[in-house]
């Protein structure tokens, strides 16, 4: 049976590395906090109760779809749609179409940003491949108004960043929860990663600054991978509760 994403796709390379996924996670954690529809995530109570677990599950769901056979991927996407429909029914309202697009756009953007930060620059055709993968997810979810190509996505992404983000009480509370669940050291580390990976609009709204203390750490981390020491570094940087999950993110390519 055919895979949802081809074995030799750059998307599998990006989403087959725990390092890259953690940077996607960091970017999403920042942007989720600013999204004008973040109240939907607060409605269920799951986000403030376990913000790391909630965001991690979103990213991990996308990763599992990337590595699924086509039919299994379609079933997983349908399950996501059903979950959202259940929340909508419970609240008696609909999640805005632009909010669905925003999450999809985050996955596209941070996949590219994280890989380029940790590995190398992507070609236009590789970026188009990333876009096409998540476009297929969005199409299966019947998300309206999706751009038809990567080149058309770029200005729409900028428009979404300008129109759909806002620093609110939810933003403040969510960062308070990040600090509570990560501890002071890892919380500052998260913010440093965010400075490196998020768009300028997100940085400005969160007042993250531009002091990139972690930049030499990333260089050291790249070297550590050559000597197989990155596992040791991850054990220092990550909460114990998530170490097993993070180890499971690395995928051997076939």
* The pLDDT of residue 197: 93
Over residues 55-112, the pLDDT tens digits come to 777 777 888 899 999 999 999 999 989 988 888 888 888 888 999 999 999 999 999 9
* The pLDDT of residue 63: 84
User: 9 by DSSP, 3-state: which?
Assistant: coil
* 56-63: long-range contacts, CB 8 A cutoff, minimum separation 24: 56/25, 56/242, 56/245, 58/28, 58/103, 59/21, 59/24, 59/25, 59/28, 60/21, 60/245, 60/249, 62/15, 62/107, 62/134, 62/137, 63/15, 63/21, 63/249
* Sign of the alpha-carbon dihedral angle for 111, 117, 119, 120: positive
d(CA 65, CA 69): 8
* The pLDDT of residue 33: 92
252, burial (CB in 10 Å: exposed 0-12, middle 13-18, buried 19+):
exposed
Q: What DSSP designation does 149 have? A: S
Over residues 20-30, the pLDDT tens digits come to 888 888 899 99
* The pLDDT of residue 229: 46
User: Which of residues 225 and 195 earns the better pLDDT score?
Assistant: 195
* The pLDDT of residue 148: 94
Break the chain into its structural domains and give their ranges. Answer: 10-247
Out of 38-42, 108-112, 231-235, least confident range: 231-235
Please list the helix, strand and coil fractions of the chain in percent, rounded to the nearest 5, in that order.
75, 0, 25
Q: What DSSP designation does 49 have? A: H
State the average pLDDT for the chain. Answer: 85
d(CA 93, CA 57): 24
User: Average pLDDT, stretch 21-45?
Assistant: 85
Distances (CA, A) of 110 to 17, 69, 94: 14, 24, 26
Distance of CA 202 to the CA centre of its chain: 14
* The pLDDT of residue 167: 96
User: Which of residues 57 and 222 earns the better pLDDT score?
Assistant: 57
Q: Is the pLDDT of residue 245 over 80?
A: no
Q: Left (φ > 0), alpha (ψ -120 to 50) or beta: where does 122 sit?
A: beta
């Amino acid at each position: 049976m055919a895979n949802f994403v081809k074995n030799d796709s750059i998307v599998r390379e990006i989403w087959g590395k725990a390092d890259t996924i953690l940077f996607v996670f960091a970017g999403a954690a920042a942007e989720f906090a600013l999204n004008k529809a973040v109240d939907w995530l607060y409605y269920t109570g799951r986000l403030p109760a376990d913000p790391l677990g909630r965001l991690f599950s979103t990213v991990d769901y996308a990763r599992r779809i990337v590595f699924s056979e086509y039919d299994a991927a379609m079933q997983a996407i349908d399950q996501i749609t059903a979950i959202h429909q259940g929340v909508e029914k419970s609240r008696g309202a609909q999640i805005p179409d632009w909010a669905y697009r925003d999450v999809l756009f985050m996955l596209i953007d941070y996949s590219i940003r994280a890989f380029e930060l940790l590995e190398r620059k992507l070609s236009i055709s590789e970026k188009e491949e990333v876009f096409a993968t998540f476009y297929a997810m969005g199409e299966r979810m019947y998300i309206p108004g999706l751009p038809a190509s990567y080149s058309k996505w770029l200005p729409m992404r900028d428009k979404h960043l300008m129109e759909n983000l806002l620093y609110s009480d939810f933003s403040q509370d969510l960062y308070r929860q990040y600090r509570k669940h990560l501890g002071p050291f890892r919380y500052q580390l998260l913010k440093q990663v965010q400075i490196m990976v998020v768009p300028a609009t997100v940085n400005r709204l969160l007042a993250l600054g531009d002091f990139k203390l972690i930049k030499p750490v990333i260089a050291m981390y790249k070297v550590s991978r050559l000597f197989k020491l990155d596992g040791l570094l991850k054990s220092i940087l990550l909460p114990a509760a998530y170490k097993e999950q993070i180890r499971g993110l690395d995928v051997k390519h076939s």
